[in-house]
Structure 1
Amino acid sequence: MKDANVVRASQLDTATISDALDKHGLVGQCYRIMPRSNTFRMAGRAWTLMYGPAGSPPGTVGDYIDDIDEDTVIVLDNNGRTDATVWGDILTEAASRKGVAGTVINGVNRDVALCIELNYPIYSLGNWMRTGKDRVQVEATQVPVNIGDVRVCPGDLVRGDADGVVVVPRAFEEQVLASAEAIQTAEDEIRHSVRGGLSLRDARAMHGYHNLQTRGHDE
């Protein structure tokens, strides 16, 4: 059975969820984390992993993919490093075959061509080819991590589209999703009114546009 709130999030774009996060005073917009293709879309629950610099001897970079459930978003914190990758073609193919929703990286990935070919969503700081093997190692899994200056905890709601990634803390998702849905409805009505000949100024006033993202304002 599909997670109802994941389905709700998948029907909202990240800009709308971002406005709802602002309305509730929450930071969930992952700064500079962008899709490797503007066609990528994803929604799911976060499964988290934290990397650190490799020790001597170096530890593993992880065979965690075998344990990931479908519709999960894999969230990898490599401390913002851009000099070594933590995701490549083998992981992309395995995740795609398992039905994983996507991958978010505080760092970089490689083998971009395959993720685009398979339409497997990857969001990261960029891409580069140098491996993380013997350069990074797994420190912990299923712990709070930092992605683009956002705290991401296991089970948080993650949504990605062409504009980037937003994260909704599990404890606030009902409020945020309800606000996002209200914002989307109002904006749809504004567009409909403008198409019907109303001025943008009047359409915004009619549908309360200027209060949509105001913190604490009742919709």
Structure 2
Amino acid sequence: MTANDKRNDNRNDNRNVERDDNRDDNRNVERAGKLDTATLSDALDKLGINGQCYRIKARSTDFRLAGRAWTLKYGPAANPPGTVGDYIDDVPPGAVVVLDNGGREDATVWGDILTEIAHRRGLAGTVINGICRDVALCLKLGYPIFSRDHWMRTGKDRVQVEATNIPVNIGDARVQPGDILRGDADGVIAIPREHEEAVLDAAEAIHHAEEAIREACRDGMRLDEARKQFKYHQLQTRGK
């Protein structure tokens, strides 16, 4: 085998590893998308992981999202002020835009132009530690936005971009680029990449146990007996 053959083999091996990694990434996002946030929250509690994004809510209870985080951090505007960001074309399709504006509710960091472009580009949704505006368009398009609230006042000249693709804080949960975000009518869950297999395994086990309890009760079993049989009270308990 020549040196060129060896180099080509190494390149092919690397491409195969990348394809396998992408398949695993997509598979785990799909797994998360099949689970509700309540079940994922219980799995996080069982593993002692803080991933529940406090007070971050869907602008519509019909909104659902699942994808990997693309993060952006804001800070107070300087003098002269910096930009609020023209980043949207850099976000890959299927990703969740995760914006940390420090929980501010007096200045928005997302509006209708971003909603339209994000929807057209096939992004999975937007999660904001702060507020958005122009809610009517996201409702019309069905583009999922999760935030603390919505209000009309612009963030222009009030906030500016500090950095992109760094760890951020969303409702007291740490979110790093590439973490899985799952949102539904009950809120948003952040699943750290390094723990996602364990979290998803635990959540699927909880889901199956709860389905078994429901089925047993439909067949006439008492709820307390069904919960005991399927160890309901240990499902969310750490280390059990």
TM-score between both structures, scaled by the size of structure 1: 0.98
Aligned to 2:146: 123
The aligned amino acid for 1:175 is A
Partner Cα distance (2:104, 2:220) in 1: 51
Taking only aligned residues, the RMSD between alpha carbons, in angstroms, comes to: 0.8
Aligned to 1:61: 84
The aligned amino acid for 1:11 is K
Deviations 1:62-83 (A, max 9, x none): 1110011111010000011100
Aligned to 2:167: 144
Aligned to 1:5: 28
Aligned to 2:96: 73
The aligned amino acid for 2:220 is G
Aligned to 2:137: 114
Matches within 5 A, 1:1-219: 3-217=26-240
Secondary structure of 2:103's match? strand
Partner Cα distance (1:33, 1:143) in 2: 20
Secondary structure of 2:101's match? strand
Large movers: runs of 4+ above 2 Å: none
Deviations 1:23-82 (A, max 9, x none): 000000000000000000000000000000111111011111001111101000001110
TM-score between both structures, scaled by the size of structure 2: 0.89
Partner Cα distance (2:192, 2:29) in 1: 13
Secondary structure of 2:70's match? strand
Question: CA offset at residue 214 of structure 1?
Answer: 1.1
Query: Which structure has greater helix proportion?
Result: 2
Query: Which structure has greater strand proportion?
Result: 1
Please list every run of 5 or more consecutive structure 1 residues that lacks an aligned counterpart in the other structure. none
Partner Cα distance (1:149, 1:201) in 2: 35
Deviations 1:170-189 (A, max 9, x none): 00000000000000000000
> Radius of gyration: which is bigger?
2
Secondary structure of 2:208's match? helix
Question: CA offset at residue 216 of structure 1?
Answer: 1.1
Partner Cα distance (2:61, 2:205) in 1: 26
Deviations 1:74-127 (A, max 9, x none): 000001110000000000000000010000000000011100100000000000
Deviations 1:153-180 (A, max 9, x none): 0000100000000001100000000000
The aligned amino acid for 1:147 is I
